[in-house]
Amino acid sequence: MAKIFELDFRKGTLIDNVSKNQSTFTKGNGNFKKTEKGYSIYFDGLTTKIDSNITLSDVKTIVLFIKPTDNTTLLLDNGSDKLEITGNNYSGTGLTENYVNNVNSDVAIFNQFQMVESQFSSGINFLTDLEILCDNKTFISRVICFDHLLSTVERNNLYNEFLNIYLIIEQKTHFIYPVPADYHPQLRDTFKDSPVGSIL
């Protein structure tokens, strides 16, 4: 059981972490955008498209870090295998279970990043190649495909990463100040205003 495909736009790359294959990016009016979850691809809802240039078989789980802005169709193939948001709900060819933000649900949350885990117990195939195309303005920061249904532990780990991803991606600046040579911190009894010990 393994991860068989992963595009992680948070790193500003179009390379599949598994095959190391470079995807083709048709920008349109979309591009990499800095968001509250780090870098994401902004799909303009018209011509922005990612073509992975690889085929996949028997995909059991698809995980998305996604911010939909409206009812949308997320085309994950140029055939019939896809996820949709229709009437506020996630649906899709062969979809058997869906989780939104680690809760068993198919209800989409518009204008907010969410982790969506979609399970296909019989597996789905991307035999032409895996494409990503949205018919409404949408942000996507990560796409992962697995050859198995995720365990509770795997789901929890991914969701914890999703919650903390901005802290992981952002580089924080730390300042170091020199300590004076004659600085000797002490614990003081504030009632008697007298030292009661030293801090080593």
Which residue ranges make up each domain of the chain? 3-169
166 beta partners: none
Backbone angles phi, psi at 169, to 5 degrees: -80, -45
Query: What tokens appear for 192 in the block?
Result: 């008697």
Mean pLDDT in runs of 10 for the chain (200 residues)? 94 94 96 92 96 94 96 87 91 95 96 97 92 96 97 95 70 40 49 52
> Which is it for strands 24-26 and 31-35: parallel, antiparallel or unpaired?
unpaired
Distance CA 88, CA 82 (A): 16
**How many helices (H) and strands (E) in the chain?**
2, 16
Whole-number pLDDT of residue 108? 96
Q: Which amino acid is at 54?
A: I
pLDDT value, residue 33: 95
User: pLDDT at position 183, please?
Assistant: 41
Residue 182: the pLDDT is: 47
Instruction: Note the pLDDT of residue 82.
Output: 86
Residue identified by tokens 């991307």 is: 126
What would the two tokens of residue 175 be? Answer: 């300042």
Q: How far apart are CA 105 and CA 101, in angstroms?
A: 9
Distance, CA of 182 to CA of 2 (rounded, Å): 57
d(CA 195, CA 189): 6
Alpha-carbon distance of 69 to 88, in angstroms, equals 11
Return the amino acid letter for 154: E
Cα 84 from chain centre: 17
Q: What is the CATH number of domain 3-169?
A: 2.60.120.200
